[in-house]
Chain A
Amino acid sequence: MLTIKNLHAGIEGKKILKGINLEIKPGEVHAIMGPNGSGKSTLASVLAGRKEYEVSTGSVQFLGKDLLDLSPEERAGEGLFLGFQYPVEIPGLSTTNFIKTALNEVRKYRGQEPLDAVAFLKLMKEKMALMNVDQSLLSRSLNEGFSGGEKKRNEIFQMAMLQPKLAILDETDSGLDIDAIRIVANGVNQLRNKDNAVLAITHYQRLLDYIIPDVIHVLYNGRIVKSGPKELALELEERGYDFIKSEVSVED
């Protein structure tokens, strides 16, 4: 589904990603962990098409297409979703209007008819219940004045509405209490099937108790320095990232 080969990227001349290789197949859940500043969010942004980041070499294939050749909105149309680490506040735009526009644009991209008001409402009600999202939240300006937890839940709610093929979740669990994490994880798990995949970026092992990953990668200094089964998360939790750092510095 997603094949990243030797991806190098940076911003304003600063090199951040220094040769990422990653292969995600349909049905899989991958987790990326790593200390702050390793380049996790940069990777997510590059995949979603943020144009401030320059890709110097490397390639990304997504469902048979050259992902780097597509605009952010085309990537969404192809089924890519990024749950933002810091969801952006948009004054004066209601969350409902936003989601309705997004959903119908994605449908248009796929050659589908727009959802009519009734169908949209029905879908929304269903996903609201799933994500424990309140109507009052949806009529407010998008993310404006939302608490950290509300913002993150809103991201997953959007994901549930858009039903992407690959969801990249950038620290969606940060700042959430355990109940909120369960809700988020539940939303993600509901979405899972054999045809789609999740790339979860996280600091903490606890999210991975609920969203069980097939593989865990450790990103450090712009490279994936270690990949392993889900038990790797426990090891990282116990020993911290220092042991990774020391292993890597030997190789460097």
Chain B
Amino acid sequence: MNTQYYQDHFTRLQAATRPGHLHARREEAFRDFSRLGIPTTRNEEWKYTRISGLFNKEWHLPLLQEKTITENDLHAVRLPGYETASELVFVNGFFSFALSNIRSESLTVLPLEEAAANGYSDIVSAHFGHSSGYIKDGIHALNTAFTEGGVFIHLRKTKHEKQPVYIYHLTTAEHEPGFTQPRSLVYLGEQAEMQLVETSMCLGQQDSLNSQVIEIVLEEAAVLEYYKIQHDHDNASQVNTTHIRQIGKSYSHTVTLSLNGNMVRNNLNVVLEASHSEAHLYGLYFPKGKSHIDNHTIVDNRVPHCESNELYKGILDEQGTGVFNGKIFVRQPAQKTNAFQSNKNVLLSDTAAINTKPQLEIFADDVKCSHGCTVGRLSEEGLFYLQSRGIPEKTAQSMLLHGFAEDVLEKIKLEPIRRYADALVAARLEYDIV
């Protein structure tokens, strides 16, 4: 990796921007990056994902907003249901107010620097960078170091009406490989209810790497539904961290759908800091061709009486590979925790592979925790049953796999997104839902 390139860039960035709270944080993060470097497979958290190769590439790392796209470009990648959603658009890692549309009166969106400097400085200093305590690697540190053009999103009480918010991470990558590092901090106030959809898309033909961090804070009685749709180009890679802090008694529900990409790493952390909070984590990964999809999840129970429920499912075909690592921490005070985790995989070819590892670390004694993982082939019995009714083998396979995926897809409670996700999976399976 050309460390000098990042060093030079960082110096230029610091010189070009106003000193302030984030300035110091960036300085510190860049030192972390220099110390940690890009993780190799010797790093336990990166054992099965050889990410370092990606960083040998000569990426173009934009410093400030230098390119924008047209409304038409955006329109081509919009997700269904956008008409009634607030749309937040990042281009090459920089938030674009021009392309974004705020369609909720309860929603405030500010540049992160401005929020840190003005009315939200307490919130920003309390929560910005909290994920660094959980994700300790150079990629995450690099994102923090280059926090520029990031955004602060505040949703106030919504009177039990869920506000859909779509975040698009767009990378232009027309002439050179594009490396983008969007950053956001989302704050759901008391009784704020949000349906957050996040997707990233490379618009150009060159390779892209989107290293993204989103930190989300839930206050008392806040409700978060979070849907990550990964359906980018085959040569688009992603490393992203979604870090959810439930600091008031609250509810989170996440579905991560990963359908392709060159190399995809998802870190999802849910930190339960208020009793009687609830977290649901669902995921479906279905790598295409040689795609590699890695899901690392953490549920951190820090207080008593919380509940978490996790189900990740994988379909691995061709030369696709997957990684699932699910950590559940139950800290000593977190008595009466209920934490469940399940990971189920279907392998369809001899060249596909999955590495799955549950990791429970329990320091409290009065808890209910369970985990299980399965790796299997498609059920011969099921196939025969469908075939015996006249359904050709290929279709029968698709129907069984679609049924397998359905468990996760049905967890998407935002109707247009659920239908969209369902159609994407059905298309991958070449299956016409009748």
**Given the complex of chains A and B, what is the CA–CA distance between A211 and B384 in angstroms?**
27
Q: Which residues of B (362-393) have their CB < 8 Å from a CB of A?
A: 379-382, 384-393
**Given the complex of chains A and B, what is the CA–CA distance between A138 and B385 in angstroms?**
17
The answer to whether A49 has its CB under 8 Å from any CB of chain B is yes
For the complex formed, measure the closest distance between the CB of B6 and the CB atoms of chain A, giving whole angstroms.
46
The answer to whether A158 has its CB under 8 Å from any CB of chain B is yes
Contacts of A72 in B (CB 8 A): 384, 387-388
Interface centre among B385, B391, B400, B433 (most CB of A within 10 A): B385
Q: Is the CB of A88 within 8 A of B399?
A: no
The answer to whether A60 has its CB under 8 Å from any CB of chain B is no
The answer to whether A243 has its CB under 8 Å from any CB of chain B is no
Chain A residue with the shortest CB-CB distance to B403: A92
Q: Is the CB of B402 within 8 A of A92?
A: yes
Chain B residue with the shortest CB-CB distance to A158: B389
For the complex formed, measure the closest distance between the CB of A234 and the CB atoms of chain B, giving whole angstroms.
33
The answer to whether A42 has its CB under 8 Å from any CB of chain B is no
Q: Is the CB of B391 within 8 A of A88?
A: no
Q: A88-B379, A88-B382 are in contact. Are A93 and B387 (CB under 8 A)?
A: no
Q: Which residues of A (97-139) have their CB < 8 Å from a CB of B?
A: 97-106, 109
The answer to whether B420 has its CB under 8 Å from any CB of chain A is no
Chain B: number of interface residues, binned into ranges: 20 to 34
**Given the complex of chains A and B, what is the CA–CA distance between A105 and B403 in angstroms?**
19
Q: Which residues of B (393-412) have their CB < 8 Å from a CB of A?
A: 393, 395-396, 399-400, 402-407
**Given the complex of chains A and B, what is the CA–CA distance between A50 and B396 in angstroms?**
14
**Given the complex of chains A and B, what is the CA–CA distance between A38 and B168 in angstroms?**
63
Give the total of A residues in contact with B, Cβ under 8 Å. 34
Q: Is the CB of A91 within 8 A of B384?
A: no
User: 1/0 contact trace for A205-245 toward B, CB 8 Å?
Assistant: 00000000000000000000000000000000000000000
Q: Is the CB of A101 within 8 A of B395?
A: yes
Select one of A49, A75, A101, A162 contacting B434, CB under 8 A. Answer: A101
Q: Is the CB of A162 within 8 A of B382?
A: no
For the complex formed, measure the closest distance between the CB of A101 and the CB atoms of chain B, giving whole angstroms.
6
**Given the complex of chains A and B, what is the CA–CA distance between A77 and B406 in angstroms?**
28
Contacts of B388 in A (CB 8 A): 48-49, 72-73, 75-76, 81-82, 84
Q: Is the CB of A71 within 8 A of B403?
A: no
Q: Which residues of A (66-87) have their CB < 8 Å from a CB of B?
A: 71-73, 75-77, 81-82, 84, 87
A residues lining the B interface (CB < 8 Å): 48-52, 71-73, 75-77, 81-82, 84, 87-88, 90-93, 97-106, 109, 141, 158, 162
Q: Can you list the 3 inter-chain pairs with the closest CB atoms, starting with the nearest?
A: A92-B403, A92-B406, A76-B390
Q: 14 additional contacts, CB 8 Å, given A72-B388, A162-B389? A: A48-B384, A72-B384, A73-B392, A76-B387, A76-B390, A77-B390, A88-B384, A91-B406, A92-B403, A93-B403, A102-B391, A103-B390, A105-B391, A106-B389
A-B contact pairs, 14 of them (CB 8 A): A72-B384, A73-B388, A73-B393, A76-B389, A77-B390, A88-B384, A91-B404, A92-B405, A98-B389, A102-B386, A105-B390, A105-B392, A109-B390, A162-B389
